[in-house]
Structure 1
Amino acid sequence: MMKNPHGIVPVMLTPFTSDNRIDWEGLERLVEWYVQNGADALFAVCQSSEMQKLALDERIALSKRVVSLADGRLPVIASGHISERLDEQRTELLAMADTGIDALVLVTNRLDTDNNGTEAFRHGLDAVLSWVPKDLALGLYECPAPYRRLLSDEEFKLCRDTGRFVTLKDVSCDLETVKRRVSLSEDSGLVVINANAAIAGAAMREGSQGFAGVFTNIHPDLYAWLYRHSEEESDLRRDLEIFLALSAMAEPMGYPGLAKVYHTRLGTFLSAHSRATDYSIAERHWAVMSLLDHIHAGTEYFRQKVAERSRCQAH
């Protein structure tokens, strides 16, 4: 039986070589970095993975390799759900379902590609449920590309009541919506995981079972500490929440290229090449490299504070 994919769920990067091929050695180092830095599950082949820029054979190979590298140490979920036409979606989803993942993640805007509403969403959902293996757990992802399609309460309950869904990556970025969805999930086994850093701690206190935002590619261990201590009344918890929220504001400055630059500094990747960020972030986003320096310094500062707290509590 699979472990439920909740907790800290990094939205995985895809490392590329400088000549635009998937860097498999870099991927191996990246998976180990996630494991060593507090990940509870891995979300492969998502928007942070540049899935819209990956051919189907690349998406399949990437998913299989992540499953192999995780080697049962933590669950792997994957999407790769990008096509417009239903027949093409059937091909890609069946292929992804066969990669050994613990849950197949459906993109909400692909279930209603023209944004026509609940009936169109229901039709798309029914079609997918008729294709995919009935024993495979499913997830939902309100991916913001090509457009952000948030679930209505009716659609959330529709998915909940199938008994097939185990996780929602919530991209509402709204605390009241997260709170309402947690209540709607009841005891269904469908967990809500917020992806917005500005409300990360508050969402955890309202029942979000983890975090799956883009800065899980920078300091997942700090989000893991916050998740375990989200109810704690302490200066450390409050200060860390503020730091995590402000750091994540760097996302518009060339992500995922921004995170790839960071990982070249760590030695995870040899190249910061990105198909999605196809420009120099240093030229377009003024002082972004200095901002990364500050984010790194703040990350190390809070890691030190967390470690000091742990040592004091051990004595």
Structure 2
Amino acid sequence: MQLPDKKFVPVMITPFNLKAKVDLDAVSRLVDFYLAAGVKGFFANCLSSEMYSISEDERLDLTRHIVRYVKGRAPIVATGSFGLTIEDKADFTQRIYDTGIDAVILITGHYANVDDDDDVLMRNFDRMLKLTGDIPLGLYECPAPYKRILSAPVFEKLVATNRFVYHKDTSIELEQVKAKLAIAKNDPNLEFYDAHTPNAMHSLQMGARGMSSISGNFYPEILVWMCNNASNPDKQEEVKWLQAELSAVDPAIHVAYPMSAKYFLRKRGLPVRTISRAHALELTPQQKQTLDEIYDRFTGWCDKLDITPVNVEELMKPLIHLDPPI
């Protein structure tokens, strides 16, 4: 039986060096890691990338480096809606698109204030679309600066413009996800991704193109397996079991994120330092213990589902380790 192609698209973290500058060499190793895990796309310059804590030039340099290193092996999207005015946002959208990405993501909360109604949102989106020519665009209901969830009617109007090829949804409520998926199905060029790991099984079975959640910065192999098997009738017992496991640990991995992800990746052997510009506090001993326990559960998931974790040691052979392990 031919199952529909589903994608896991990680929201990439940004490694920093000891001077808290972007570590592009570690970014390359992360790309290798994600690809080895089976991901089918990348979301660069996103909230997980600490996009609000890096400069405009760093956003562009980081995205450009990822494009050059990936070399067309997978599509790449990146956030472009930065600037004080709509004109500023359109200008940065063009600049980041020129790095070679496949589509520019617009944060819904960048196009209306928290107390503005949807008419304001639509007017600003209309101006944005007119200023960005034929650049392929995407939508993301990012939690920052505040989470602007698109209602089904607003989402339908935006989809009807035929400008959007990507949507990252954070509705959380499955009925809202279902309503928007019904609209997304009317546009074959629009790819719908759920950001909420506890929704994974249901969203994928309802027709989402894939998942794009922070859990992929801990165990991307597991999310790839879920995308590949959520609709497989022969794997439903395992799918339901895994979904329960992922939902159980999901609240814990959000604590102190993205430091939690950097700790976890470092534990897996990647050269990612526990340095963050967005989260200044060190992880507490209890937080580390919780992540260690989740790591043990992750290895158990792999054993039960016959998943081979990425061999990070083999992947890192060309790299000289400058720091001792955790």
Pick which of 180-189 and 95-104 moved more. 180-189
CA contact (8 A) 2:221 2:307 kept: no
Contact 1:193 1:211 in 2 (8 A): yes
Partners of 1:130 and 1:181 in 2: how far apart?
A: 24
Q: What is the letter of the counterpart of residue 240 of structure 1? A: L
RMSD, aligned CA: 1.8
Give me the whole-angstrom Cα distance separating, in 1, the residues matched to 2:217 and 2:59.
19
The answer for the alignment partner of 1:168 in structure 2 is: 167
Q: Which residue of 1 aligns with 2:87?
A: 87
d(CA) in 2 for partners of 1:241 and 1:105? 28
Matches of 2:6 and 2:69 in 1, distance apart? Answer: 19
Once the two structures are superposed, residues 229-258 of structure 1 have per-residue CA deviations (whole angstroms, 9 ceiling, x without a partner) of 113354322221111112221133200011
Deviations 1:269-299 (A, max 9, x none): 24210011111121xxx61111111211111
Structure 2: gaps spanning 5 or more residues: 309-326
Q: Which whole-Å deviations, capped at 9, do the CAs of 1:77-115 have from their partners, x for residues lacking one?
A: 000424343233233222112110001001101121344
Gap change, CA 1:75 and 1:21, over 3 Å in 2: same
- The match for 1:25 is 25
Q: How has the CA–CA distance of structure 1 residues 226 and 92 changed in structure 2, closer, same or farther, with 3 Å as cutoff?
A: same
| Number of the residue aligned with 1:312 | none
One-letter amino acid of the counterpart of residue 270, structure 2: T
Q: Residue 182 of structure 1 contacts residue 191 of structure 1 at CA under 8 Å; is this kept in 2?
A: no
1:303 Cα offset (Å): 1.5
Q: Per-residue CA shift, 1:141-175, capped at 9, x if unaligned?
A: 00010100011222211211111111110000111
Does residue 117 in structure 1 map to residue 114 in structure 2?
no
**2-structure distance, mates of 1:59, 1:38:** 25
Asked if the contact 1:46/1:80 (under 8 Å) is kept, the reply is no
The answer (yes or no) to whether the contact 2:11–2:49 under 8 Å persists in 1 is yes
Match for 1:78: what amino acid?
A
Q: Is the 8 A contact 1:198 1:245 kept in 2?
A: yes
What TM-score do the two structures reach when normalised by structure 1? 0.90
**1:242 correspondence with 2:241:** no
Instruction: Give the whole-Å Cα distance in 2 for the aligned partners of 1:186 and 1:253.
Output: 34
User: In 1, are the aligned partners of 2:87 and 2:131 still within 8 Å (CA)?
Assistant: no
In 1, are the aligned partners of 2:14 and 2:49 still within 8 Å (CA)?
A: yes
Q: Does 1:276 align with 2:275?
A: no
Amino acid at match of 2:158: C
1:308 deviation in Å? 7.1
Q: CA deviation at 1:223?
A: 1.2
**Separation (CA, whole Å) in 2 of partners of 1:249 and 1:53:** 24
Whole-angstrom distance in 1 between the partners of 2:85 and 2:194? 29
CA distance in 1, matches of 2:201, 2:218: 17
- The residue that corresponds to 2:312 in the other structure is none
Superposition pairs of residues 196-211 of structure 1, within 5 angstroms: 196-211=196-211
Taking the TM superposition and a 5 Å limit, the aligned residue runs for 1:251-266 are 251-266=253-268
Instruction: Structure 1: state its 5+ residue gaps.
Output: 310-315
Separation of aligned partners in 2, 1:51 and 1:116: 24
Offset of 1:186 from its aligned partner? 2.8
Amino acid at match of 1:20: A
1:304 to partner: Cα distance: 2.1
Q: Partners in 2 of 1:130 and 1:234 — Cα distance?
A: 46
2:62, 2:292 → 1: CA distance?
30
In structure 2, distance between residues paired with 1:146 and 1:97: 22
Aligned counterpart, 1:149: 148
Residue-by-residue CA offset, 1:150-209 (whole Å, 9 max, x unaligned): 112222112111111111100001111111111112331223211111121111111122
Q: Deviations over 1:50-86 (max 9, x none)?
A: 0011110000011111111111110000004243432
TM, length-normalised to structure 2 = 0.87
Mapped partners of 1:174, 1:201: distance in 2: 13
8 Å CA contact 1:51, 1:82 repeated in 2: no
Q: Distance in 2 between matches of 1:29 and 1:182?
A: 34
Which residue pairs with 2:323 in the alignment? none
Question: Within 5 Å, which residues of 2 pair with 1:1-315?
Answer: 7-134=7-134, 136-188=135-187, 189-231=189-231, 232=233, 234-282=236-284, 287-307=286-306
- Partners of 2:118 and 2:148 in 1: how far apart? 11
Give the whole-Å Cα distance in 2 for the aligned partners of 1:17 and 1:142: 30
Separation in 2, partners of 1:262, 1:164: 37
Percent identity of paired positions between Structure 1 and Structure 2: 29
